[in-house]
C-alpha cells in the first residue's frame, strides 16, 4: 500500500532509506535467476555502465541505478569495486540526485583520472515544463573514496539547432588536451517529442576538465537515428574504436532488431577536422539484451568493455525486485583488423574444471558453466517444454538464436529470433550464468547477449552431429 504512494521519479536515496534498501536487497537475494559472475543490482533497476576505471589499485564500476523498484525511476550512480574483475564489493551510492541542478537524475557518463583523483562526468538531468535543459556535471573522487560534487555543472544549456536531449559525456585525453564527446539530437526536419530527428555527436575541449569549449559536431559515416546516446572511445593498436548507441534505427534484415542499437566503428577520430574516418563499422551485438557499452583501460592498460545487459524497457516475465545487470568485462582486440571482444582472462580463469566432450547430449549439472564447442553448432538448451536454440546454416551463413520455445516468454513484441551472418564459423563459446547468456562466435567476432528464465538450463541437446569441445565449470 505504502509503495503506491512513492513517486519513483523523485525518490532520492538518503541515509534514512538505508534500512529499506537492505530489506529490498534481502528479498532479491533469494531470486531464482541471479547470476554468479555478472554484476546485477542488489535491488531495483540497473542500466548503463558508467565511470569505468582502474584507479588507485582497484577496478571501479559505477552504474545507472534506481534502487527502490525494478523500473526506470530517478537515476542514481551505484558503485562497486574489485581487485580482479570477479569478486566485487558493494560501495555506498556514489551519486544521488540531491542538488537542484540534477533534480531529475544523475545520468550516464565516464571517469578520467587527473592529478591523483577520479573525475566522474555525468549528465545532470533537469526537466522543465518547456522541456529539458541539459547540464553536464562532474564529481571528484579522491583516493579515500570520498566523492565531492562541484557546486555548478560544467556545461549548461543546449545549442542552436539541437534539442534539449544532450547527454552522456565521455571524456578522454589526447595530445595533452582533454576532449569530451556528448550525444545529442538535431532538428533537420521533423521533430519527435523532445527530440530532433537526427542523432549527433558533439565535441568539447578543455585543459583542466572544468572549463569546456564547444568545438562543433563530429561528422559520422554511419546511421545515427534520431538521438545518439552513450558515446565511448578507445584506442587499440593505433586505431580508434568509437562506440555509439543510437535510438531510432530502422531494422535492416538481420540487423537492428532491438528497440535501440549500439554500433562500433573502427578507424580514426580526426579531431582537427571533426570527423570519424571509419575503416568499417557494425552493430555491436547480435542478441536481444545489449546496449550502451563503455570502454576503458584495465590494470595492464588492456582495452576492456562493459555493456548494459538490457536494452530500453523490455517486457521480462520475471522481475522480483531487480532488473538487468552488466555484461562480463570483455577484453577487446583487433585480430587482423577485425574487432573482437571476449570475456576478460580473469573471468575465464574462474572456470577451473575442464572436461573434454563429444556427445549428442550434455548434462552440465550446473546453472553456471562455459561450453566451448568446435563442432555441433545446432543445439537446444533446456527441457523439451522450455528451451532456447542455436542454429548455424552453412548455406546462408546465418547464425540464429531462437527464444520462441521458452516457457517464460520474453519481450515477444520485438521478435523471438535474432540472426547474424558469419562466414566461417569454427568455434562457439556459450557462457551460461543462470539467466544471463553470452554466446561468442569465432572468439568474439560476433556476440549474442541475452536473458533466459529457465528452470532447467543444464541440458544441452545437439540437433545435428556430436557436441564436441570442452565443458568448463567453476
CB of 232 to ligand FRU, least distance (A): 12
218 secondary structure, DSSP code: P
Residue 38 or 167 having the CB closest to ligand FRU: 167
Instruction: Give all strands of the β-sheet with 353-359 in edge-to-edge order.
Output: 353-359, 467-473, 368-375, 428-433, 436-441, 446-451
**List of E strands, 144-226:** 147-149, 155-156, 167-174, 177-186, 198-206, 213-217
CB of 113 to ligand FRU, least distance (A): 22
Helix, strand and coil content of the chain, in percent to the nearest 5, comes to: 5, 50, 45
User: In whole angstroms, what is the distance from residue 335 CA to residue 348 CA?
Assistant: 19
Residue 125 or 454 having the CB closest to ligand FRU: 125
Residue 165 or 433 having the CB closest to ligand FRU: 165
Name the grid cell of 443: 572468439
> Catalytic pick from 48, 240, 411, 429?
48
Residue 451 or 472 having the CB closest to ligand FRU: 451
CB of 284 to ligand FRU, least distance (A): 14
CB of 302 to ligand FRU, least distance (A): 25
Place of cell 580482479: 84
Number of Cβ atoms within 10 Å of the Cβ of 283: 20
1 secondary structure, DSSP code: -
Residue 107 or 448 having the CB closest to ligand FRU: 107
CB of 368 to ligand FRU, least distance (A): 27
Helix (H) or strand (E) holding 25: helix 18-28
User: In whole angstroms, what is the distance from residue 149 CA to residue 293 CA?
Assistant: 25
Residue 199 or 469 having the CB closest to ligand FRU: 199
CB of 167 to ligand FRU, least distance (A): 5
CB of 109 to ligand FRU, least distance (A): 8
Residue 35 or 310 having the CB closest to ligand FRU: 310
Contacts of 87 by beta carbon, 8 Å cutoff, 6+ apart = none
Q: Residues 315, 306: contact at Cβ < 8 Å?
A: no
Name the grid cell of 51: 565511470
The residues binding ligand FRU (CB under 6 A) are 47-48, 64, 75, 107-108, 123, 167-168, 229-230, 291-292
CB of 436 to ligand FRU, least distance (A): 18
Which pairing describes strands 322-323 and 44-55: parallel, antiparallel, or unpaired? parallel
Q: What is the 3-state secondary structure (H, E, C) of 233-275?
A: EEEECCEEEEEEEEECCCCECCECCCCECCEEEEEEEECCCCE
Place of cell 580514426: 268
Is residue 48 part of the annotated active site? The answer reads: yes
Residue 67 or 382 having the CB closest to ligand FRU: 67
Q: Residues 151, 184: contact at Cβ < 8 Å?
A: no
CB of 306 to ligand FRU, least distance (A): 13
Q: What angle do CA 92, 301, 215 make, to 5 degrees?
A: 80
413 secondary structure, DSSP code: G
Closest CA to 76 of 29, 135, 9: 9
- Does the CA dihedral 347-351-357-362 come out positive or negative? negative
As a whole number of Å, the CA-based R_g of the chain is 22
Residue 159 or 466 having the CB closest to ligand FRU: 159
As annotated, the active-site residues are 48
Amino acid at each position: 500500500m505504502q509503495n503506491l504512494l512513492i513517486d519513483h521519479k523523485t525518490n532520492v536515496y538518503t541515509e534514512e532509506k538505508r534500512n529499506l534498501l537492505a530489506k529490498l536487497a534481502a528479498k532479491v537475494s533469494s531470486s531464482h535467476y541471479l547470476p554468479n559472475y555478472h554484476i546485477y543490482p542488489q535491488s531495483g533497476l540497473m542500466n548503463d555502465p558508467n565511470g569505468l576505471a582502474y584507479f588507485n589499485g582497484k577496478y571501479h564500476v559505477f552504474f545507472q541505478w534506481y534502487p527502490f523498484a525494478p523500473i526506470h525511476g530517478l537515476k542514481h550512480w551505484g558503485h562497486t569495486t574489485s581487485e580482479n574483475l570477479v569478486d566485487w564489493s558493494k560501495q555506498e551510492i556514489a551519486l544521488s540526485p540531491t542538488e537542484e541542478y540534477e533534480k531529475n537524475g544523475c545520468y550516464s557518463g565516464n571517469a578520467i583520472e587527473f592529478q591523483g583523483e577520479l573525475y566522474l562526468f555525468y549528465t545532470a538531468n533537469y526537466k522543465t515544463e518547456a522541456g529539458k535543459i541539459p547540464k553536464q556535471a562532474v564529481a571528484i573522487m579522491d583516493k579515500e573514496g570520498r566523492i565531492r560534487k562541484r557546486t555548478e555543472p560544467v556545461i549548461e544549456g543546449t545549442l542552436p539547432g539541437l534539442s534539449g536531449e544532450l547527454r552522456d559525456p565521455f571524456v578522454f585525453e589526447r595530445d595533452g588536451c582533454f576532449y569530451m564527446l556528448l550525444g545529442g539530437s538535431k532538428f533537420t526536419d521533423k521533430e519527435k517529442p523532445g527530440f530532433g530527428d537526427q542523432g549527433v555527436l558533439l565535441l568539447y575541449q578543455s585543459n583542466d576538465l572544468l572549463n569546456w569549449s564547444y568545438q562543433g559536431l563530429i561528422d559520422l559515416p554511419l546511421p545515427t537515428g534520431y538521438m545518439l546516446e552513450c558515446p565511448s572511445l578507445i584506442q587499440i593498436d593505433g586505431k580508434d574504436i568509437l562506440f555509439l548507441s543510437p535510438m531510432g534505427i530502422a531494422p535492416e534484415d538481420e540487423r537492428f532488431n532491438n528497440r535501440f542499437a549500439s554500433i562500433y566503428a573502427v578507424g580514426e577520430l580526426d579531431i582537427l577536422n571533426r570527423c570519424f574516418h571509419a575503416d568499417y563499422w557494425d552493430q555491436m551485438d547480435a542478441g536481444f539484451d545489449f546496449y550502451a557499452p563503455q570502454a576503458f583501460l584495465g590494470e595492464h592498460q588492456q582495452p576492456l568493455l562493459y555493456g548494459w545487459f538490457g536494452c530500453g524497457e523490455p517486457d521480462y516475465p520475471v522481475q522480483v525486485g531487480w532488473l538487468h545487470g552488466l555484461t562480463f568485462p570483455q577484453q577487446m582486440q583487433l585480430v587482423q583488423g577485425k574487432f573482437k571482444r571476449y570475456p576478460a582472462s580473469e573471468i575465464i580463469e574462474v572456470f577451473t574444471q575442464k572436461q573434454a566432450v563429444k556427445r549428442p547430449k550434455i548434462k552440465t549439472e550446473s546453472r553456471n558453466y562455459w561450453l566451448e564447442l568446435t563442432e555441433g553448432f545446432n543445439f537446444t538448451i533446456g527441457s523439451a517444454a522450455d528451451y532456447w536454440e542455436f542454429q548455424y546454416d552453412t548455406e546462408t551463413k546465418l547464425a540464429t538464436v531462437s527464444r520462441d520455445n521458452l516457457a517464460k516468454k520474453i519481450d515477444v513484441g520485438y521478435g523471438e529470433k535474432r540472426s547474424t551472418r558469419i562466414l566461417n564459423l569454427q568455434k562457439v563459446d556459450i557462457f551460461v550464468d543462470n539467466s544471463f547468456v553470452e554466446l561468442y562466435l569465432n572468439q568474439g567476432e560476433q556476440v549474442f547477449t541475452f536473458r533466459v528464465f529457465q528452470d532447467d538450463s543444464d541440458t544441452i541437446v545437439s540437433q545435428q552431429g556430436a557436441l564436441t569441445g570442452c565443458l568448463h565449470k567453476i
